[in-house]
Amino acid sequence: MASLAQYYQALADDDANAHGVAIARLQAAEVQARDANRSANAFPSSVPPASNLTSEAGTTLSEMTKRQLASIQEKIVEFTKDNDFIYHQPIPGEASLSAIPKLPAAKAIPVSELYQGQDIQRIIGPDIFQRIVPMAVTESASLYDEEKAKLVRAETERVEIANDEMAASLDYLKLPDSLNILKGGMEQEMTVDENFRRWCEELAGHAPFNSAFDQLNADKASIQSMLDQSMKQLDMEESV
């Protein structure tokens, strides 16, 4: 078994371009095969019945070891000739040989070798990574969508506030119902309410309210400026 292990490891080393190591392993395998052949030749011709061996066991072992020795010697001649003429690698001693590693249970086969002469792209399908978007592009698109949604929300809030103000103003002025009442009153004689007449008389001697309205507009502009500045600061803080 040791001779067989060295023999097959030598074939593997030769395939891996370690020609000198392969020859050294074959030489070690030859020595072990000779010892096995001598042991097989000395095997007794008559065996005990309890050994479960036939009388031809010695002959069979001798033929097996002889065949193994011949195979090793044939490979030694072949590898030595190739190394002398082509590779010129040094042959290490038997003591410097490394231990035989365990045989891997499986060997990887390239797809190109497995499907030679065939359309590999059709067999394995399209590349699953060709549609992946780079992370930088994804982040930029996300920031763009966020800013766009932010602008849309701001405009939507302004529109809703304007609609609410308009609805409140119309409700305060009792429009459009008051227009219908006014339209109906035009068809008949209209009189001024006494309370309304008294209010007009009371306000007739007062100064105009232009200054008060100007002050209210100035206050409104100042408050609006403060609100805009606060919104900018809140947006800046949110972005940070």
Cα dist. 169→32, 55, 69, 174 in Å?
A: 111, 121, 113, 8
Token pair belonging to 101 = 């590693």
Tokens describing residue 207: 């100064």
pLDDT for the residue 26:
92
Phi, psi of 48 (to 5 degrees): -65, 150
| In the chain, beta strands by DSSP E | none
**What span, in angstroms and rounded, lies between the C-alpha atoms of 11 and 26?**
9
Integer Cα distance of 29 and 68 in angstroms: 9
The token pair at 239 is 């972005």
Q: How far apart are the first and last CA of the chain?
A: 74
Is this prediction's pTM over 0.75? no
Altogether, the residues listed in the chain come to a count of: 240
Instruction: Report d(CA 212, CA 80) in Å as an integer.
Output: 117
Give average pLDDT by consecutive 10-residue segment, the chain, 240 residues.
Answer: 88 89 92 89 75 77 90 92 90 87 75 70 71 84 91 94 89 75 61 80 73 88 94 91
Nearest Cα to 144, choosing from 132, 133, 136, 154?
136
